[in-house]
Amino acid sequence: MPELPEVETVRRGLAPAMEGRRIERAEVRRPDLRWPLPERMAERLTGARVDRLRRRSKYILADLSTDETLIIHLGMSGRMLVSGAVPGVFVRDHAPAQKHDHVELQMEGGARVTFNDARRFGAMDLIATPRAEGHWLLQGLGPEPFDNAFHEDFLAARLAGRRSPAKAMLLDQRVIAGLGNIYVCEALHRAGLDPRRAAGSLTGPEIARLVPVIRQVLADAIEAGGSSLRDHRQASGELGYFQHSFRAYGREGAPCRTEGCTGTIERIVQSGRSTFWCPACQR
């Protein structure tokens, strides 16, 4: 499932085609994705201007001139692809409609935004903009990693006394929004922390080291266009490239890339998910 860097990459790719532009025509080709689509969705979107395109955790939010917000979740295989003319960015011919093109937005200026989702685990919903943060998909999310609200004192307070593994706590969206399996593995490896340790055992200096590492891992991944392991594509259709920079994730049996470490990356299973780490340098 796309994590924060992949979703932010898609948001940035959509912005030139969508922000400040009207949706001249919306076409909805099925009644549901993972859940039923909003009633009269095409009618409610057609004619609306996208005033702002933002991200919250793993969701894209389009604030509309109609005082509604379109919430988009890419799910496992969802893609938001831009074609046509995007002034100052590119001109890409519109492709013929594909089997899994479920929602299509014809934008003012000539661009077309298509939501394609083969597995239909994605989702879209419309909600009054003032109530968007209270939507059941967004309610209860923790702070964004790049926000000032996420700092070492906050994280220390959330981890204090917790016996759950450090990795599990970092995956908890109520603690920090947007992190998933890939980037938690990468952050813990860069910070030299054992993913099996009880979260409450992390010391103040260790947490102080971890917070900027989380931010740097995410920033590096965004700069690389995210990680394309199976389905992720940027809005342009291009792959992300951060997977070529993984230090831990997916590298079972490979030499550790930490300078001076002679260890080997191992894979363990935690709560049914693969964890990749180096026993030699992650303590």
Q: What pLDDT was estimated at residue 113?
A: 96
Q: How confident is the model at residue 204 (pLDDT cuts 50, 70, 90)?
A: very high
pLDDT of residue 234 exceeding 80: no
Cβ of 188: how many Cβ atoms within 10 Å? 27
Q: What pLDDT was estimated at residue 77?
A: 85
Among candidate residues 134, 165, 199, the one where a domain is terminated:
134
CA pair distance 138, 136, nearest whole angstrom:
5
172 lies in a domain?
Answer: yes
pLDDT of residue 141 exceeding 60: yes
What average pLDDT does range 118-137 have in this prediction?
96
Task: Write out the DSSP string of 206-244.
Answer: HHHHHHHHHHHHHHHHHHTT---SSS---TTSPPP-GGG
141 lies in a domain?
Answer: no
Among 3, 8, 68, 186, the active-site one is: 3
**161 and 125 in a common domain:** no
Q: What pLDDT was estimated at residue 87?
A: 63
Q: Could you report the per-residue pLDDT of 143-198, keeping only the tens digit for each? A: 999 999 999 999 999 999 999 999 999 999 999 999 999 999 999 999 999 999 99
**159 and 116 in a common domain:** no
What average pLDDT does range 81-108 have in this prediction?
79
Among 22, 120, 267, 273, the active-site one is: 273
pLDDT of residue 140 exceeding 90: yes
144 lies in a domain?
Answer: no
**184 and 73 in a common domain:** no
268 lies in a domain?
Answer: yes
Active-site residue, 99 included: no
147 lies in a domain?
Answer: no
pLDDT of residue 228 exceeding 70: no
**194 and 97 in a common domain:** no
Q: How confident is the model at residue 89 (pLDDT cuts 50, 70, 90)?
A: low
**249 and 222 in a common domain:** yes
Q: How confident is the model at residue 240 (pLDDT cuts 50, 70, 90)?
A: confident
CA pair distance 16, 116, nearest whole angstrom:
19
Give the helix/strand (H/E) hosting 63: strand 59-64
Mean pLDDT of the chain: 93
CA pair distance 76, 84, nearest whole angstrom:
26
Among 2, 16, 145, 195, the active-site one is: 2
Closest CA to 143 of 133, 132, 129: 133
Q: How confident is the model at residue 232 (pLDDT cuts 50, 70, 90)?
A: low
3-state class of 132 per DSSP?
Answer: helix
Tokens of 216: 């740097």
pLDDT of residue 88 exceeding 70: no
**181 and 73 in a common domain:** no
91 lies in a domain?
Answer: yes
**192 and 89 in a common domain:** no
This prediction has a pTM of 0.92
Q: What pLDDT was estimated at residue 244?
A: 87
Tokens of 89: 């960015």
**255 and 206 in a common domain:** yes
What average pLDDT does range 43-53 have in this prediction?
98
**120 and 90 in a common domain:** yes
279 touches 263 (CB < 8 A): yes
**177 and 256 in a common domain:** yes
3-state secondary structure 9-44: HHHHHHHHHHCCCEEEEEEECCCECCCECCCCHHHH
Among candidate residues 66, 99, 134, the one where a domain is terminated:
134
Number of domains within the chain: 2
Among candidate residues 108, 134, 160, the one where a domain is terminated:
134
256 touches 280 (CB < 8 A): yes
Tokens of 41: 């969705």
pLDDT of residue 123 exceeding 70: yes
Q: Which of residues 164 and 225 earns the better pLDDT score?
A: 164
221 lies in a domain?
Answer: yes
Q: What pLDDT was estimated at residue 63?
A: 98
* CATH code for position 223: 1.10.8.50
Range of the domain at 175: 152-277
Q: What pLDDT was estimated at residue 243?
A: 86
50 lies in a domain?
Answer: yes
**187 and 97 in a common domain:** no
Cβ of 111: how many Cβ atoms within 10 Å? 24
Give residue for tokens 């394309």.
Answer: 228
Active-site residue, 2 included: yes
**Least confidently predicted of 49-53, 232-236, 239-243, 245-249:** 232-236
Active-site residue, 167 included: no
**197 and 109 in a common domain:** no
pLDDT of residue 78 exceeding 70: yes
Cβ of 130: how many Cβ atoms within 10 Å? 9
Among 56, 58, 79, 112, the active-site one is: 58
Burial of 59 (0-12, 13-18, 19+ CB in 10 A): buried
pLDDT of residue 90 exceeding 60: no
* CATH code for position 13: 3.20.190.10
